[in-house]
Amino acid sequence: MEVKIKERLSQLFDEQKINCAIIFEKGTMPDKNAPNIIYNKEGLNNLVWNSMNWNNLANYLPKLLGKKIGIVAKGCDSRSIVLLMQEEKVKREDLYIIGINCTGMIDMKKIAKDFGAEISETIFEKDSVKVKGKASEKEYKVKDFLLESCQVCKYPSPVIYDEVLGEQVKGFEGDNYQDITEFEKLSSEERREYFYKELSGCIRCYACRNSCPSCYCQECFVDSNQPKWLEKGQNIDDIFFYHIVRAYHMVGRCVDCGSCQNACPMDINILKLTKKLNKDVRELYKYECGLDPKNTPALSTFEPDDYNEFIK
């Protein structure tokens, strides 16, 4: 896969079909890869493709508006591309999309916990990773340590592309909101208590916001001084306010890629909030985000004969 992606992007640079590309490179830590934007084919020397590429690369598209961009897109990245096209943050004609049939990404936080020692090297084979430390090594099957979103991913194959690599992958066929249905059975006090406990560890680093392709406002409400929506610091009410408002900004706009949760240094389950809203949107509007660029997003449309009084 890695060789094929390099070959294709190299050709695209030669043919001047693209003048930049969004790729993954090895990160500074052995258990993380890092997205990067390259502007010539020499940059491809550092390209890597393996099961640590969980970041949603569509995140970088709004910053490259007007450029001819090559992008490597898993199923979830491709759905974010569709959303960004709908919201006019990227033009289809400016993109060359190398779609990847995705077999899922590995949860390195879980692996690190299991390994129990500092990881000094990771070596990927086709469907496993060998993790090495100073005094020990262990091999893990990727399928046994998939990230939460990947375990229930309905669209692992790209929904939009110029060409696609890898064999078609079957999406998850069960109920991907089973956990939310269970959670909904709790009383409102129990749910509130859960979130207070879960979010009390949040340090408001905003890595969740920064890694989300749907969060592209030039000035986020958390950084605004006029009006000032919330204070700095660790007040739990401010933390709550940030998460609730961010989740509401995601209504009908979240592709459930899990990038926000994977980026969290405090291992906080923030997908619970966005997944609940995704489920509501699916049930109320029969709408799933990022499947068809010609569709109008759920909250950008209305019916003149809506039963709500305010619409008349």
- Closer residue to ligand SF4 (CB): 185 or 232: 232
Residue 154: count of CB within 10 angstroms of its CB? 14
Return the residue of 71, 105, 180, 281 that touches ligand SF4, per CB under 6 A: 105
252 touches ligand SF4 (CB under 6 A) = no
Among positions 118-177, residues that touch ligand SF4 (CB under 6 A) are 149-150, 153, 156
Residues 71-90 that bind ligand SF4 (CB under 6 A): 74-76
Query: Which of 270, 277, 281, 298 is close enough to bind ligand SF4 by CB under 6 A?
Result: 270
Q: Of all helices (H) and strands (E), which one includes residue 237?
A: helix 236-249
Distance in Å, CB of 84 to ligand SF4, minimum: 11
Nearest to ligand SF4 of 129, 255 (CB atom): 255
Find, among 171, 215, 279, 164, the residue nearest to 58 by Cα: 215
Q: Between residues 122 and 211, which has the closer beta carbon with respect to ligand SF4?
A: 211
Nearer to ligand SF4, 86 or 211 (CB): 211
From the CB of residue 306, how many other CB atoms can be counted at a distance below 10 Å?
Answer: 10
Asked whether position 257 contacts ligand SF4 by CB under 6 A, the answer is yes
Among 5, 96, 99, 104, binds ligand SF4 (CB under 6 A): 104
Token pair of 128, please? 């496993």
Q: Which stretch binds ligand SF4 (CB under 6 A): 4-12, 126-134, 209-217, 298-306?
A: 209-217
Which of 44, 90, 212, 298 binds ligand SF4 (CB under 6 A)? It is 212
Instruction: Say whether residue 264 binds ligand SF4 (CB under 6 A).
Output: yes
Shortest Cβ 280–ligand SF4 spacing (Å): 14
**Core vs surface per residue 115-150: b (16+ CB within 10 A) or e:** beeebeebebeeebbebbeeeeeeebebeebbbbbb
What lies within 8 Å, CB to CB, of 196 at 6+ separation is 236, 240
DSSP sequence for 279-312:
HHHHHHH---TTS-TTSPPGGG---TT-SSGGG-
Instruction: Name the nearest CA neighbour of 59 among 216, 244, 261.
Output: 216
Query: Do the beta carbons of residue 122 and residue 129 sit within 8 Å?
Result: yes
From CA 255, how far away is CA 73, in angstroms rounded? 13
- Residues touching ligand SF4, count (CB under 6 A): 37
Selection from 276, 299, 303, 275 nearest residue 287 by Cα: 299
Query: Which residue among 176, 274, 276, 281 contacts ligand SF4 (CB under 6 A)?
Result: 274
Q: Which one, of 146, 141, 170, lies nearest residue 157 by Cα?
A: 170
Interacting span for ligand SF4 (CB under 6 A) from 21-29, 120-128, 202-210, 279-287 = 202-210
Using the minimum distance from each CB to ligand SF4, give the nearer residue, 70 or 258. Answer: 258
Measured in residues, the chain has a length of: 312
Position among 23, 95, 202, 281 found at the interface with ligand SF4 (CB under 6 A): 202
Residues in touch with ligand SF4 (CB under 6 A): 54, 56, 74-76, 102, 104-105, 149-150, 153, 156, 202-208, 211-212, 214, 250, 254-260, 263-266, 268, 270, 274
